[in-house]
Structure 1
Amino acid sequence: MTEKLKYERRIIAFIDILGFKEIVKKSESDTSKIELLYSVLEYLKNWEKPDNWNLKFVEIEEDAQKKGLKYFDISTKTNTTAFSDSIVVSVKIENDINEMTSTLICNLAYIGSMLMEKGILFRGGLTIGNIIHKDNGTVFGQGLIEAYLLELKSAKFPRIVLSDKLIKELNYPIERKINRYPYHQYLKRFEDGCVGFHQMIYYQVIDSCPYFTKDDKILSLENIRKTIINGLDSSFEQSEVFEKYKWLKVQYNDLIILSDFDCDNKTHENIKVKIREVREDHNIHFSQVD
Structure 2
Amino acid sequence: MKYENRLIAFIDILGFKEIVRSSEKDDSKIEFLYSVLDYLKSWETSESWSSQLVEIEEDAQKKGVENFDIRDKTNSTSFSDSIVVSVKVENNVNEMASTLIVNLAYIGAILFEKGILFRGGLTIGNLIHNENGTVFGQGLIDAYQLESNNAKFPRIVLSDKLLKQLNYPLETKRNRYPYHQYLERFNDGCVGFHQMIYFQVIESWIEMTDEKIKISLGKIRKVIVNGLDTSFENPSVFEKFKWLKEQYNKLIILNDFDFETKTHENIKLKIRELNEGIHGHNVHYKYTDDFYDSTKK
TM-score range with shorter-chain normalisation? Answer: over 0.9
Counterpart of 1:289 in structure 2 is 288
Q: Residues 59-109 of structure 1, C-alpha deviation per residue, up to 9 Å, x if partnerless?
A: 110000010000000000000001000000000013511011000000000
> Which one of 60, 76, 81 corresponds to residue 77 of structure 2?
81
8 Å CA contact 1:17–1:86 kept in 2: the answer is yes
Distance (Å, rounded) in 1 between the aligned partners of 2:267 and 2:172? 32
Question: Distance in 2 between the 1:67 and 1:257 partners?
Answer: 27
Q: Does 1:53 align with 2:49?
A: yes
| Aligned-residue RMSD, C-alpha | 1.6
Q: Quote the offset at 1:261 in angstroms.
A: 5.4
Q: Does 1:106 align with 2:105?
A: no
Deviation string, structure 1 residues 114-151 (Cα, Å, up to 9, x no partner): 01000000000000000000000000000000000000
2:115 is equivalent to residue 123 of structure 1? no
| Structure 1 residue matching 2:274: 3-state secondary structure | coil
Letter in 1 for 2:58: E
| Map of 2:146 onto structure 1 | 150
Contact 1:256/1:270 (8 A) holds in 2: no
Aligned residues: 286
Q: Residue in 1 aligned with 2:13?
A: 17
Conserved 8 A contact 2:256-2:267: no
Contact 1:71–1:95 at 8 Å: present in 2 too? no
Secondary structure at the aligned position of 2:231 is classed as coil
SS of corresponding position for 2:72: coil
Say if 2:227 is the partner of 1:228: no
Gaps of 5+ in 1: none
TM-score w.r.t. the length of structure 2 is 0.93
2:188, 2:61 → 1: CA distance? 34
TM-score, normalised by the number of residues in structure 1: 0.95
| AA at the equivalent of 1:224 | I
1:279 deviates by: 2.7
Q: Is the 8 A contact 2:8 2:85 kept in 1?
A: yes
Contact 1:258/1:269 (8 A) holds in 2: no
Matched, 1:172 2:174: no
Taking the aligned partners of 1:195 and 1:261, their CA distance within structure 2 comes to: 34
Distance 1:118 1:287 in 2: 19
Instruction: Tell me by how many angstroms 1:282 deviates.
Output: 2.0
Q: Does 1:93 align with 2:89?
A: yes
Could you say which residue in structure 1 is the equivalent of 2:60?
A: 64
Output the amino acid matched with 2:108: G
* Structure 2 CA distance for partners of 1:58 and 1:268, relative to 1, 3 Å: farther
Instruction: Give the % identical residues.
Output: 71
